[in-house]
Structure 1
Amino acid sequence: MEHYSVAVIAGDGIGPEVMAEGLKALQAVERVHNWIRFDIRCLDWNCGYYARHGRMMPDNGLEILRDFDAILLGAIGAPDVPDHISVWELILPIRRRFHQYVNLRPIKLLKGLESPLRHKGQAELDFVVVRENTEGEYSNMGGRLHAGTPYELAIQNNVFTRFGVERVIRYAFSLAQSLGRKRVTAATKSNGINHSMPFWDEVFRDVSRSHPEIRTDLFHIDALAAYFVSRPEIFDVVVASNLFGDILTDLGAAVVGGLGLAPSGNINPEREYPSMFEPIHGSAPDIAGKGIANPIATIWSVSMMMDHLGHREMGQLLLDGIEEVLVEGVVRTPDIGGRATTSEMGDAIVNSIMRKA
């Protein structure tokens, strides 16, 4: 029997609702492959925890997570807790402490869905974005001066290190090779940001010389965003800085059906620490408790976790289960044109997985 330990942080808003469906899908995988088990530990770290304790997780939270094989996160954020607390005291410390320097987000139009882009189908919408995840524009460097006066100022410093930029770009090329893809595209803005972006470009060109078999492009972020809409078929692997990758992948999610369908992995490629998998949609407090959130992004994130753990056949089983339900078109949540509840959608995917046993 093969065992994996998984820390589950369901979080806030719709997080617990979609996480319940993700865990149901994981249990279905266990039933289909009865030689594997997932030892789940649920942790109540969220904005409610912050209200009770004045912090988003215990002081030793990172030590608690250290020895797990993987982490599943539902969503973090609540209207009564500022984002700079909820995100900066839970998600970002995990990403940084565990060197999850790759944020991996597939941009893939699933079978059974139509893109809002006219005349673009599965063949044109199938690529991966590699987002640098631990430095760049989201570095905690800067401050405010003369607060509350007419002279108040705020400075936020972008931090790009050769070590950090080079390793994420190398990962992008390695990923392209492993997927059999022939093109790596980098996002830049070197015509307007005159220090960090030319530096990013130089490192990208340096790394690309070691991969002459792969075609490379450097596109300014504004043009690249336009190409996500007008020419998505030209992309295989896109690599971007923290901020640019964040924005691009939300746009990418929109062109393949919406945030409720978009998974992600915060990856430590060296596997020295656990990686964390989560939907990108956020806690959506406006629909929390209504039972209508789409669980596909969470179940797909579980699929990505299986891929990372080395069980690609199980990851594919989960993705096939999702697509079969979408192709049938009978059970759909409101965001993709149906009336099904979160649990009904999860049950349909589980049933599809079991039929494939």
Structure 2
Amino acid sequence: MTTTQRIALIPGDGIGREVVPAALAVLDTVGRRHGIAFGYDEFDWSCARYLAEGAMMPADGLDRIRDHDAIFLGAVGAPGVPDHVSLWGLLIPIRRQFQQYVNLRPIRVFDGLDSPVRGAVAGEVDFVVVRENVEGEYSEIGGRMSRGFPDELAVQQAVFTRAGVTRLVDFGLDLAEGRRRYGEAEPSTRSEPAGAFTPSEHGGTATTRRGGYVTSATKSNGIVHTMPFWDEIVAERTALHPALRWDQEHIDALSAKLVLDPARFDVIVASNLFGDILSDLAAAVAGGIGIAPAANLNPARDFPSMFEPVHGSAPDIAGRGIANPIGAIWTAAMMLDHLGHPEAAAEVENAIAAVLAAREVRTPDLGGTATTTTFTQAVLDAVGTR
């Protein structure tokens, strides 16, 4: 029996219009193997639309996509449209109105794709950043006064709620417990007992830990209200998961450790701003922004979740046919998994891994000469042999 999934498709701007067809080709191919049919409703919401009509999407845009099974986005952004206009005109309304409060970003070093970081080795670096996605530092509260005058000022308020932090941390803890079943179970060389340990007590390089290990990103030594509040809730929620190990790291030290010892991490939970920065840094450690996927999840499934590669619209290479499609294809695998097709999702990710391990096909950002189409065909061929 065939399962039909209805997808709201927003190719967006720049290379988004090139990598989305690549992802759809893979989706349709693996779908046929698993009895999954995809129906795509395409929407022209983009910076081009903004320049032509004064809005990134129509006033009833959210109602048009509310009943889809998922949303797939290519990229947003274009010269001539300020980034805050494109972001707040499209992505943020979708994330917030559909309560997509988890931004999930897996990080993996693939065999055959050498990391620019010497210590990031394939098979050892495999973790997930769980980023809060609808509140935190990216709030709408604030404003500007005395524009254009010497005493001009801007105020931006961060918003952390108990409900928001709790549900995000709970998601990360549950995810860590699930990864524990399948991850490595290496014994720790640390002498402290299971539970929390503070950043200041552990400045050295940690041993590799995989599965059942959560790191909370904080800055409670400098941000005196929201971050201690965050830390308190993390401590409360982790106490309900005694089998998990967890620690907290100040964001500056954590950024350094992601480079110096990326294999130590399993699940990182972070606020909106911290998670945004950490996940891009981690993607670079893994080989580049072009390969990184992301999911904006509504875990309760009251609304559709949205899936988008991490990379931007890359106007400097748009239209040349050389964009790296890995981020979009891996994002499609995440969407498959969310829709209840984990075997199909695994086939797609395994196909990406196989192409990279062969070291034969590379887009220019990875040091090769392959086109978007050529790389996508290699993945399609690999999917057919899995």
Compute the TM-score of the two structures, normalised by the length of structure 1. 0.98
* Aligned residue in 2 for 1:135: 135
- Counterpart amino acid of residue 14 in structure 1: I
- Counterpart amino acid of residue 359 in structure 2: G
Aligned residues: 355
* Aligned residue in 2 for 1:25: 26
Paired residues for 1:1-40 under 5 Å: 1-33=2-34, 35-40=35-40
Q: 1:125 Cα shift?
A: 0.9
Deviations 1:198-253 (CA, angstroms, capped at 9, x unpaired): 00000000101101110110100000001101111221100000000000000000
Paired residues for 1:16-165 under 5 Å: 16-33=17-34, 35-165=35-165
Alignment check: 8 A CA contact 1:115 1:257 kept = yes
1:257 matched to 2:257? The reply is: no
- Where does structure 1 lack aligned partners over 5 or more consecutive residues? none
Report the secondary structure of 1:139's partner residue: coil
Partners of 2:133 and 2:110 in 1: how far apart?
A: 26
Q: 1:123 Cα shift?
A: 3.1
1:208 matched to 2:238? The reply is: yes
Partners of 1:179 and 1:53 in 2: how far apart?
A: 46
Q: 1:273 Cα shift?
A: 0.6
Compute the TM-score of the two structures, normalised by the length of structure 2. 0.91
* Aligned residue in 2 for 1:309: 339
Deviations 1:239-292 (CA, angstroms, capped at 9, x unpaired): 000000000000000001000100000000011110011111110111111111
Q: 1:52 Cα shift?
A: 1.6
**Alignment RMSD (CA, Å):** 0.8
Choose from 210, 220, 243 the match for 2:250.
Answer: 220
Deviations 1:69-104 (CA, angstroms, capped at 9, x unpaired): 001000000011111110001000000000000000
Partners of 2:316 and 2:126 in 1: how far apart?
A: 31
Deviations 1:331-351 (CA, angstroms, capped at 9, x unpaired): 110111110001111111111
Alignment check: 8 A CA contact 2:119 2:260 kept = no
Partners of 2:330 and 2:223 in 1: how far apart?
A: 36
Partners of 2:178 and 2:12 in 1: how far apart?
A: 33
- Counterpart amino acid of residue 238 in structure 2: S
Q: 1:31 Cα shift?
A: 2.5
Choose from 340, 346, 355 the match for 2:376.
Answer: 346
Deviations 1:162-192 (CA, angstroms, capped at 9, x unpaired): 0101100000001111111211100000111
Alignment check: 8 A CA contact 1:123 1:233 kept = no
- Counterpart amino acid of residue 234 in structure 1: R
Alignment check: 8 A CA contact 1:109 1:257 kept = yes
1:247 matched to 2:277? The reply is: yes
Alignment check: 8 A CA contact 1:8 1:71 kept = yes
- Where does structure 2 lack aligned partners over 5 or more consecutive residues? 181-210
Partners of 1:71 and 1:119 in 2: how far apart?
A: 36
Report the secondary structure of 1:263's partner residue: coil
Identity within the alignment, %: 55
- Counterpart amino acid of residue 165 in structure 2: V
Q: 1:355 Cα shift?
A: 2.2
Q: 1:22 Cα shift?
A: 0.5
Q: 1:30 Cα shift?
A: 2.2
- Counterpart amino acid of residue 23 in structure 1: L
Partners of 1:341 and 1:302 in 2: how far apart?
A: 19
Deviations 1:28-72 (CA, angstroms, capped at 9, x unpaired): 112322x21011111110011111211000110000110000010
* Aligned residue in 2 for 1:174: 174
* Aligned residue in 1 for 2:326: 296
